[in-house]
C-alpha cells in the first residue's frame, strides 16, 4: 500500500485587545447588548472615512517581532470583496499582497508537552513520539473582524458590535505534520500572545479562531494535492479531533484509489467534518488596494512615533526562554518549568518567592562562600519544598476555590517555606497553616499565634506531655516492654488527644520510643 503523509497549514485569527476598534472610536469591548458599540464608520455608511488606530499597528508589530518575522518595508491595505450579511460594507479591509509581517517562527520543546490527549496513536493520525520543535510562518497580516450572526427560528439577527474589531491573521507554512503538532503549535502561540498582553486569546470567546487546511500526499512527494479547509475550530480539542478525523477520512479515500479531486470547505460538528460549500478562489474576492487608507511604510511609522528598535527591546521574555531559564537557573525539571511559567503572572510570583528565599539564605551567618555558591549549594532543598508546597498544595487550594490570583503574597509564602525548611512545623500542621494563610490572607506569624499552632519550639511542651502519658499508662508500657510493640499506637493516640491533634504522629511515636528504651 502507498505510504501517505498529511500536510497541514493553519490560518489563525486573533482579536487584538485595543481600546477602540480598527478604524473608528467605538469601544473594542465585549458586551451583552447587541449593536451598542457601533457608528457610521464600522457600519460602512457611504461617505465615511476609516482612520487607522495606532495601537493596532503597535500590537501587531509586537507579535511580529516576538515571532522573529520581517517587518515589511512597504505594506498597504486591500479590500476583499464578498457579500455576506455580517459584512456591512460588502468588503473587508485586509492585507493581500503586502502583509505587515513576512515569515516568522514559533518554536517549542519536544519534551514539555503531554501528547496522549486523544487516541491519535490508535487512529493513525500521527506518531505521539515524533519530535516537533518549530512551525514556520508565511505571514502575519491585519484585517477587520466581521459582525456576528444569530440564527433564530425562521430569521437571522445581526450584531455589529464585532464589526471592525482589529484582527491579526497568522498564516503558517504547510508544514505541520499531524493533529498533535497543530495543537501544540497553537498552545504555544496562545502563550506567546498572552505574554505579550496583546489579547487574552481565549478560544471559547472567539478571540483566537483557527481554520485548518489539510491534504494528504504520497510520502516523498513534493507537490500539494487538493485540500480541505476546516473552518472555525474554536478549541484546542476541536483542532486536534477535527484534524485527526479528516486525516483518516482522506487517507481512506487515497487507499480506495479515489483521492479528493477538488478543494472543499468543511465544518466540524464535534464528531465529524461536514462539507459546506465549494470554496471561493482568490480571484473571486477581487482584491484591490484600499483607496481610503495610506500605505504603511517606515515613514508612516516614524510620523506616528512607532520605533521598531524600542518595541523589540521592550518585548517580554518569551515563554520558551523563561522555561529554559527556570530549568537552568533554579534547577526545575522540564514539566515543572512548563507549569510554573504557564502565565507570566505565575512565573513572576515564583521568581519573587525564590528571590526572598535566596536573600534569607544569604543573610544567614552559618553559611559561607559567595552568594552564588551559597545559592548553588542549597537551592536543591528549597526548590524541592517550593515545588511540594506550591504545586501540590497552593495550586490545589486555588483550583478548589476556583481562584486564579495569589491570595498569599510571595513574601508570606517564602516565610512559610522557610518555616518548613527549618523543620519548625510538621507536615500536617504545615498544610493547616497554609490553608489558614490562604483564607485569612495573614502572614505566618499571625496565623501561628492566632490559631495556636505548635511549632518545634513548643517541643519541650510535647516532651512533658509524653512523660505524663507514660506515667499515666503503666500497664500499656508493661505490654510494650513485653514485646507487644503495636500498642504504642495507643500512647500516640493519648498524646495526640492531649495536644488537640497538633503534634505530628510520627514525631510523637519516635519520641515515645526514645523515652521507653
Report, in angstroms and rounded to the nearest whole number, the Rg of the chain calculated over CA atoms.
31
Sign of the Cα pseudo-torsion (170, 175, 178, 180, in order) = negative
CB 138, min distance to Mn ion, A: 13
| 165 part of the interface to Zn ion, by CB under 5 A | no
Tell me the closest approach of the beta carbon of residue 307 to Zn ion, in angstroms: 29
Q: Does 42 bind Zn ion (CB under 5 A)?
A: yes
Stretch near Zn ion under the rule CB under 5 A, chosen from 25-33, 89-97, 338-346, 416-424: 25-33
CB of 43 vs Zn ion, minimal distance in Å: 7
The residue ranges that bind Mn ion (CB under 5 A) are: 169
Supply the minimum distance, in Å, between the C-beta of residue 99 and Mn ion.
11
C-beta of 133 vs 232, nearer to Mn ion = 232
Distance CA 159, CA 149 (A): 6
If one asks whether residue 51 binds Zn ion (CB under 5 A), the answer comes out as no
Least distance (Å) from Zn ion to the CB of residue 49?
12
Q: What is the DSSP letter of 270?
A: S
Closest contact distance (angstroms) between CB of 169 and Mn ion is: 4
Q: Which does 169 bind (CB under 5 to 8 A by kind): Zn ion, Mn ion, none?
A: Mn ion
Supply the minimum distance, in Å, between the C-beta of residue 177 and Mn ion. Answer: 24
Give the nearer residue to Zn ion in terms of CB position, either 26 or 433.
Answer: 26
Least distance (Å) between residue 29 CB and Zn ion:
12
* Cβ-count burial 386-406 (b if 16+ within 10 Å, e if not): bbebbeebbeebbeeeeeeeb
CA 45 to the chain's CA centroid: 40
Q: With CB under 5 A, what is the number of residues at the site for Zn ion?
A: 5
24 binds, among Zn ion, Mn ion, none (CB under 5 to 8 A by kind): Zn ion
Contact 115, 128 (CB under 8 A): yes
Nearer of residues 168 and 511 to Mn ion, judged by Cβ: 168
Residue nearer to Mn ion on the CB measure, 95 or 412: 95
Does 24 interact with Zn ion (rule: CB under 5 A)?
yes
How far lies 124's CA from each of 118, 120, 267, 373, in Å? 11, 6, 22, 51
Round to whole Å and give the CA distance between 158 and 167.
Answer: 19
When the beta carbons of 169 and 336 are compared against Mn ion, the nearer one is: 169
Q: What is the DSSP string of 66-125?
A: HTTPEEPSEE--EEEE---TT-TTSEEEE--SS-SEE--EEE--SSSS--TTS-HHHHTS
Under the binding rule (CB under 5 A), the answer on residue 93 touching Zn ion is no
Q: Which grid coordinates are listed for 336? A: 515543572
Q: How far is the CB of 28 from Mn ion (least distance, A)?
A: 17
β-pairing verdict for 264-268 and 228-233 = parallel
Would you give the distance in Å from CA 477 to the centre of its chain? 58
Which three three-digit cell numbers place residue 274? 461536514
Cβ-count burial 271-288 (b if 16+ within 10 Å, e if not): eebeeeeeeeeeeebebe
Binding mask 280-319 for Zn ion (x = CB under 5 A): ----------------------------------------
CB of 169 or CB of 290, closer to Mn ion: 169
Chain mean position to CA 411: 25
Query: What would the DSSP string read from start to end of 203-255?
Result: TTTTSEEEEEEEEEEETT--SPPP-EEEEEE-SHHHHHHHHHHHHHHHHHHHH
Q: Which is nearer to Zn ion, 89 or 241 (CB)?
A: 89
**Nearer Cβ to Zn ion (45/399):** 45
Closest CA to 61 of 210, 184, 166: 166
Of 169 and 415, nearer to Mn ion (C-beta) is 169
What x/- string results for residues 402 through 421 when contact with Zn ion is judged by CB under 5 A?
A: --------------------
Binds 353: which of Mn ion, Zn ion, none (CB < 5-8 Å by kind): none
Which part of the chain contacts Zn ion (CB under 5 A), choosing from 36-44, 268-276, 303-311, 432-440?
A: 36-44
- Whole-angstrom distance, CA of residue 448 vs CA of residue 454: 7
Residue 26 binding Zn ion, by CB under 5 A: yes
Q: Which of 39, 248, 334, 476 binds Zn ion (CB under 5 A)?
A: 39
Judged by beta carbon, residue 26 or residue 58, the one nearer Zn ion is 26
- Return the exposure string of 98-134: e unless at least 16 CB atoms fall within 10 Å of the residue's CB, then b: bbbbbbbebbbbeebbebeebebeeeebbeeeeebee
- Rounded to the nearest whole angstrom, what is the least distance from the CB of residue 181 to Mn ion in the complex? 22
48 touching Zn ion, by CB under 5 A: no
Interface contacts to Zn ion, rule CB under 5 A = 24, 26, 39, 41-42
Amino acid at each position: 500500500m502507498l505510504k501517505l503523509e498529511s500536510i497541514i497549514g493553519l490560518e489563525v485569527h486573533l482579536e487584538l485587545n485595543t481600546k477602540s476598534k480598527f478604524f473608528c472610536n467605538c469601544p473594542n469591548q465585549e458586551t451583552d447588548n447587541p449593536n451598542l458599540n457601533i457608528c457610521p464608520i464600522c457600519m460602512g455608511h457611504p461617505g465615511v472615512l476609516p482612520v487607522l488606530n495606532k495601537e493596532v499597528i503597535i500590537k501587531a508589530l509586537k507579535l511580529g517581532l516576538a515571532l522573529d518575522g520581517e517587518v515589511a518595508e512597504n505594506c498597504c491595505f486591500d479590500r476583499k470583496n464578498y457579500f455576506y450579511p455580517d459584512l456591512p460594507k460588502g468588503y473587508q479591509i485586509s492585507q493581500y499582497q503586502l502583509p505587515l509581517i513576512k515569515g516568522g517562527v514559533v518554536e517549542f520543546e519536544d519534551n514539555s508537552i503531554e501528547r496522549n490527549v486523544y487516541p491519535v496513536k490508535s487512529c493513525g493520525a500521527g506518531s505521539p513520539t515524533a519530535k516537533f520543535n518549530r512551525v514556520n510562518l508565511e505571514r502575519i497580516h491585519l484585517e477587520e473582524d466581521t459582525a456576528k450572526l444569530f440564527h433564530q427560528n425562521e430569521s437571522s439577527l445581526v450584531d455589529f458590535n464585532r464589526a471592525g474589531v482589529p484582527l491579526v491573521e497568522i498564516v503558517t507554512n504547510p508544514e505541520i505534520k499531524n493533529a498533535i503538532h497543530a495543537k501544540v503549535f497553537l498552545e504555544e502561540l496562545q502563550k506567546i500572545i498572552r505574554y505579550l498582553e496583546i489579547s487574552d486569546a481565549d478560544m471559547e470567546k472567539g478571540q483566537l479562531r483557527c481554520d485548518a487546511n489539510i491534504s494528504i500526499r504520497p510520502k516523498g512527494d513534493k507537490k500539494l494535492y487538493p485540500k480541505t479547509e476546516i473552518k472555525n475550530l474554536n478549541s484546542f480539542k476541536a483542532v486536534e479531533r477535527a484534524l485527526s478525523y479528516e486525516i483518516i477520512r482522506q487517507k481512506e479515500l487515497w487507499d480506495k484509489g479515489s483521492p479528493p479531486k477538488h478543494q472543499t470547505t468543511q465544518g466540524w460538528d464535534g464528531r465529524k467534518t461536514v462539507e459546506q460549500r465549494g470554496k471561493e478562489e482568490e480571484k473571486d474576492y477581487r482584491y484591490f488596494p484600499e483607496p481610503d487608507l495610506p500605505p504603511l511604510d517606515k515613514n508612516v511609522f516614524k510620523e506616528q512615533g512607532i520605533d521598531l528598535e524600542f518595541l523589540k527591546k521592550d518585548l517580554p521574555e518569551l515563554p520558551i526562554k523563561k522555561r529554559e531559564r527556570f530549568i537552568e537557573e533554579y534547577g526545575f525539571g522540564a514539566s515543572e518549568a512548563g507549569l510554573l511559567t504557564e502565565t507570566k503572572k505565575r512565573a513572576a510570583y515564583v521568581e519573587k518567592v525564590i528571590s526572598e528565599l535566596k536573600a534569607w539564605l544569604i543573610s544567614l551567618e552559618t553559611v559561607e562562600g559567595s552568594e552564588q555558591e551559597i545559592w548553588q549549594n542549597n537551592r536543591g532543598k528549597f526548590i524541592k519544598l517550593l515545588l511540594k508546597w506550591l504545586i501540590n498544595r497552593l495550586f490545589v487550594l486555588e483550583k478548589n476555590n476556583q481562584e486564579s490570583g495569589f491570595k498569599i503574597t510571595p513574601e508570606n509564602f517564602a516565610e512559610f517555606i522557610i518555616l518548613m525548611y527549618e523543620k519548625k512545623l510538621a507536615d500536617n500542621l504545615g498544610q493547616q497553616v497554609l490553608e489558614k494563610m490562604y483564607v485569612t490572607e495573614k502572614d505566618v506569624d499571625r496565623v501561628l499565634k492566632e490559631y495556636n499552632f505548635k511549632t518545634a519550639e513548643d517541643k519541650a511542651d510535647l516532651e512533658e506531655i509524653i512523660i505524663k502519658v507514660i506515667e499515666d499508662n503503666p500497664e500499656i508500657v508493661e505490654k510494650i516492654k513485653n514485646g507487644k510493640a503495636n500498642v504504642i499506637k495507643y500512647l500516640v493516640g493519648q498524646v495526640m488527644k492531649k495536644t488537640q491533634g497538633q503534634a505530628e504522629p510520627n514525631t510523637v511515636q519516635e519520641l515515645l520510643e526514645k523515652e521507653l528504651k
